[in-house]
Structure 1
Amino acid sequence: MTYKTTKENIDWQQVSDILRRSGLSDHTVKEQETIFTNSYAVVFVYHKETLVGVGRALSDGVCQAAIYNIALEEEFQGNGTGKKLINLLLDQVKGQNVILYTHPRTVALYEKMGFRRSKTAMCIYSGSEESRSFMEREGFLLPEKYRFVDEYGREDMMR
């Protein structure tokens, strides 16, 4: 495997294809180029000449970062390639607090790498009603007004 952490000479069609096959994004090739080019940190994983994995992070470069769009072709999963991809992103944002946005099915994988779930992460989702329903069904979004068990009855949660 070859890992690249620069944005030059990238086949953006391959990036778009991997993200689409992974079910993570259906943005156009040009949009993916903009998304990754504007990201603070990137990792592209190659098997021979073929792009097989991608990942990116947004950051202020000092104290806060967020990891997105981790995608790895299925045949390369489970052999440490994804872990190395994540570690290369983490190296690029070393010393910063990192939020990871992932699919609910991969939470346990990231917990093994030291990530912890957060009760206080919030989001405003700007997708269509159809894509929002998908996000709710898949478990990306908790139901509106959802409260964790230890929050019931707390006055500050009633507002």
Structure 2
Amino acid sequence: MTHDITIRLDCDGVDWTKAAEIFERAPLGTREPNQLARTFANSDLVCFAWDDETLVGLGRALSDGEKQSVVYDLCILPEYQGQKIGSIMMEVILETLTTPNVVLWAVPGKEPFYARFGFNPMRTAMALFENPDSSAEKGYIDI
């Protein structure tokens, strides 16, 4: 199925309850809509994919604007996955970021997707999670 997808770099018109549903269905976990709205509002870069008036994908990044950026939360509705929407969104995000170094958070198993953009696994990254047991269970960390 071909869709006429529009990519936008602003939060205008986002229904955060529907955005939280995309996280659940993608699946990237549960997000509380108001908190999700705040995380995107506080991000340096936001990226949304729209099929007409329907939100179908979203992602965001934090950046110091000089050396380092981090990409978070790239997720697409399952019925829109496999149609290059995630690739287009990643290209837009990477073209918009102005830093030479970009790190990203990936769902375990999605590493081959990001490798296509030149991302490599890191050996020295570490994380301090609110719930390390749950993060380990999901494959994000070894404990």
Same fold (TM > 0.5): yes
- CA shift, 1:25, in A, is 3.7
Count of residue pairs brought into register by the alignment: 139
1:38 to 33, 42, 46: 42
Q: Which has the larger radius of gyration?
A: 1
- CA shift, 1:20, in A, is 2.0
- CA shift, 1:68, in A, is 0.6
Q: Deviations over 1:21-65 (max 9, x none)?
A: 223242311101100000000111011211010000011111111
- CA shift, 1:96, in A, is 3.0
Contact 2:68 2:102 in 1 (8 A): yes
Superposition map of 1:1-159 within 5 A: 1-127=5-131, 132-143=132-143
- Name the structure with the higher helix share: 1
RMSD over aligned CA atoms reads: 1.4
- CA shift, 1:86, in A, is 0.8
Unaligned ranges ≥5, structure 2: none
Unaligned ranges ≥5, structure 1: 144-159
Please give the alpha-carbon distance, in whole angstroms, between the structure 2 residues aligned to 1:69 and 1:142: 21
Look up the equivalent residue of 1:138 and give its one-letter code.
K
Please give the alpha-carbon distance, in whole angstroms, between the structure 2 residues aligned to 1:25 and 1:31: 14
Please give the alpha-carbon distance, in whole angstroms, between the structure 1 residues aligned to 2:94 and 2:59: 11
- CA shift, 1:79, in A, is 2.0
Look up the equivalent residue of 2:98 and give its one-letter code.
K
Report which structure shows greater RCO (CA 8 Å, sep ≥6): 2
SS at match of 2:125: coil
Look up the equivalent residue of 1:43 and give its one-letter code.
C
- Show the counterpart of 1:149: none
Please give the alpha-carbon distance, in whole angstroms, between the structure 1 residues aligned to 2:98 and 2:82: 25
